[in-house]
């Protein structure tokens, strides 16, 4: 065969110096047997930009300017630079179709994981970012230093709207700021969305009046997009400051729609990440959770679940810290699997730590995150020997203990609810 059949290697250039306007992606990659590193890199850069499997009859010379370039690799990680003109401003689904699309199914790769992306300023400018930022939420909730706290009624689904709201009231009266719907609760025959909003509003107003504190909730609007808009509007009409979306199952297009729609309503967005573990759990294949957190901050969620490292769900301490940096920092210097990123006008977002937590694990979580987080303790308050309100109090006491430099055991001498929680769970790390 005289004529070249493939042109993948045209997408590899170790001497390429990325332009300031390039979007840079960091991948973990493993070539299949018999495929060289450059043949693998060429395929990743080609299939995620302008290429295909064979040389073509016609190739307009201007296409070269749109080609991605694999310009650096160290071991099994590689950086690929994408010209800005490849991407439509403000269109997150299109970005994913490019860098998180066909390349993951290529036979020439045994494994591929998208670890991080560094967005150029021109691309950042086309997204809103979070409505309030972490300081804006603290101001809104009048909570200055400690973590914001919340809980999901458990069992996670099955209560009537009134029962749900009554558990919410107990949660708020125990000192928590928020009551969260579970990820699989939308509008069921036994707990209609509209009924839940009305009962929750009634109990919120009562709890605010009795405590003098601001109380809010992450009420789940997840549904078809037009329905989500109607539900968000109802929340705003009833004085709520947040809505909750399951952002992975809803998709980036609908998260963008709701971010735009809730902007005028002033609503913050709590992003549950259910289904993320289908693509981020395998360290060698899929998308990283920090990449998901990054694009959700860019679109503009207020906060997103980031893991606990010590609770019932997977996520290492390093992963949790990298997600927290991605969400909270304004300027990131390349480290670990994080690329450089200057977030410019994009406000910060809270990491949410939840999943298998109870008062005995609060210090472990605060040792990792510090106080700049939303801490959700759900089974860990409703399972307290003296019930929900005592469980929330025990969790608040654990936060106070940690932030005043006492061990939980020392603090438990003078705080009964914490003592009772430690008697049941100690420092158990559930699986």
Q: What is the DSSP letter of 27?
A: E
358 tagged catalytic: no
Residue with Cβ nearer Mg ion (181 or 325): 181
Residue with Cβ nearer ligand CAP (101 or 283): 283
Strand duo 303-305 + 286-287: pairing = unpaired
Pick the catalytic residue: 215, 270, 272, 402? 272
In whole angstroms, give the CA distance from residue 32 to residue 27: 15
**Partner whose binding site includes residue 354, from ligand CAP, Mg ion, none (CB under 5 to 8 Å by kind):** ligand CAP
Q: Bridge-partner residues for 150, per DSSP? A: 178, 376
Say if residues 187 and 228 touch (Cβ distance below 8 Å). no
Q: How far is the CB of 379 from ligand CAP (least distance, A)?
A: 3
187 to 172, 183, 271, 277: CA distances (angstroms) = 23, 12, 18, 24
Q: What is the DSSP letter of 168?
A: H
The tokens describing 310, both together, are 């010590």
Site string (362-401) toward ligand CAP, x via CB under 6 A: ----------------xxx---------------------
272 tagged catalytic: yes
In whole angstroms, give the CA distance from residue 147 to residue 220: 22
Residue with Cβ nearer ligand CAP (246 or 417): 246
**E strands within 152-302?**
178-180, 216-218, 242-246, 268-272, 286-287
Say if residues 310 and 365 touch (Cβ distance below 8 Å). yes
**Partner whose binding site includes residue 83, from ligand CAP, Mg ion, none (CB under 5 to 8 Å by kind):** none
Site string (248-287) toward ligand CAP, x via CB under 6 A: -------------------------x--------------
Q: Does 313 bind ligand CAP (CB under 6 A)?
A: yes
Q: Is the dihedral of CA 242, 248, 249, 253 positive or negative?
A: positive
C-alpha 300: how far from chain center: 11
Pick the catalytic residue: 154, 198, 202, 230? 154
Q: Does 116 bind Mg ion (CB under 5 A)?
A: no
Among the residue ranges 26-34, 183-191, 366-374, 401-409, the one whose residues contact Mg ion (CB under 5 A): 183-191
In whole angstroms, give the CA distance from residue 424 to residue 412: 13
Q: Does 152 bind ligand CAP (CB under 6 A)?
A: yes
Q: How far is the CB of 48 from ligand CAP (least distance, A)?
A: 28
Site string (156-195) toward ligand CAP, x via CB under 6 A: x-------------------------xx------------
- Give the residues lining the site for ligand CAP (CB under 6 A): 152, 154, 156, 182-183, 273, 305, 307, 312-313, 354-357, 378-380
What residues are labeled active site?
154, 272
């Amino acid at each position: 065969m005289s004529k070249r059949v493939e042109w993948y290697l045209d997408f590899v250039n170790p001497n390429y110096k990325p332009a300031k306007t390039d979007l840079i992606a960091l991948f973990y990659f493993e070539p299949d047997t018999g495929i060289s590193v450059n043949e693998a890199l060429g395929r990743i850069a080609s299939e995620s930009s302008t290429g295909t499997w064979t040389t073509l009859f016609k190739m307009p010379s201007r296409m070269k300017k749109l080609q991605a370039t694999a310009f650096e690799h160290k071991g099994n990680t590689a950086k690929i630079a994408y010209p800005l003109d490849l991407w439509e401003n403000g269109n997150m689904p299109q970005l994913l179709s490019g860098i998180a699309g066909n390349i993951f199914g290529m036979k020439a790769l045994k494994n591929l994981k998208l670890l991080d992306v560094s967005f150029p300023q021109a691309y950042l400018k086309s997204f809103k970012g979070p409505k309030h930022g972490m300081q804006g939420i603290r101001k809104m909730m009048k909570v200055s230093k400690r973590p914001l706290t919340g809980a999901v009624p458990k069992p996670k689904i099955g209560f009537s709207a009134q029962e749900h709201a009554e558990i919410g009231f107990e949660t708020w009266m125990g000192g928590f700021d928020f009551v969260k719907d579970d990820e699989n609760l939308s509008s069921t025959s036994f707990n209609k969305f509209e009924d839940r909003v009305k009962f929750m509003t009634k109990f919120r107003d009562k709890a605010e009046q009795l405590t003098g504190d601001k109380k809010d909730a992450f009420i789940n609007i997840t549904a078809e997009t037009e329905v989500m808009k109607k539900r968000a509007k109802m929340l705003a009409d009833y004085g709520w400051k947040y809505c909750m979306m399951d952002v992975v199952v809803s998709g980036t297009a609908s998260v963008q729609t709701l971010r735009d729609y809730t902007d005028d309503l002033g609503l913050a967005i709590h992003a549950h990440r259910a289904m993320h573990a289908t693509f981020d759990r395998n360290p060698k294949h899929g998308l990283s959770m920090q990449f998901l957190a990054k694009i959700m901050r860019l679109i503009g969620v207020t906060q997103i679940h980031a893991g606990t490292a010590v609770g019932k769900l997977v996520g290492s301490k390093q992963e949790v810290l990298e997600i927290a940096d991605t969400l909270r920092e304004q300027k990131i210097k390349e480290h670990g699997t994080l690329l450089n990123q200057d977030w410019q006008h994009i406000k910060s977002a809270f990491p949410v730590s939840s999943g298998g937590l109870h008062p005995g694990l609060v210090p472990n979580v605060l040792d990792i995150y510090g106080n700049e987080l939303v801490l959700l303790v759900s089974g860990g308050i409703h399972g307290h020997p003296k019930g929900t309100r005592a469980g929330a109090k025990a969790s608040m006491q654990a936060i106070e203990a940690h932030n005043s430099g006492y061990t939980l055991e020392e603090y438990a001498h003078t705080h009964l609810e914490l003592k009772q929680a430690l008697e049941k769970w100690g420092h158990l790390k559930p699986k």
